Amino acid sequence: MRGGGGSVALAQGKRGRQVSKGATVSVIEGDGIGIDVTRAALAVAGAALAREGAAPLTLQPVRAGAGYYSETGHDIEPGGEEKAGEADAIFLGAIGLPAIRHADGTEISPHLRLRDRYQLYAGVRPVKAYPNAPQRLADPRAAGIDLVIIRESTEGLFYSAAVHGRAEVIGSEEVRETLRISRKTTEKLHDFAFRFAARRAEKGRSGQLTCVDKANVFTSMAFFRQIFDEVANRYPDVPRGYNYVDAQALDLVRQPWAFDTLVMENMFGDILSDLAGGLVGGMGMAACGEIGDAIGLFQPAHGSAPDIMGQDKANPLAAILSGAMMLDYLADTRGHKGYAAAAARIEAAVESGFAANALRPMEFGGDMGTRAVTQVLLDTIG
The residues annotated with a catalytic role in the active site are 159, 214, 246, 270, 274
Residue 30, class by beta-carbon neighbours within 10 Å (0-12 exposed, 13-18 middle, 19+ buried)? Answer: buried
Q: How far apart are CA 205 and CA 301, in angstroms?
A: 24
CB 122 within 8 A of CB 333: no
Q: How far apart are CA 23 and CA 331, in angstroms?
A: 9
Which residues pair with residue 361 across a beta bridge?
368
Q: How far apart are CA 42 and CA 299, in angstroms?
A: 12
Which residues pair with residue 92 across a beta bridge?
28
Q: What are phi and psi of 86, to 5 degrees?
A: -80, -15
Distant-in-sequence, close-in-space partners of 373: CB < 8 Å, separation ≥ 6 = 40, 315, 316, 317, 359, 361
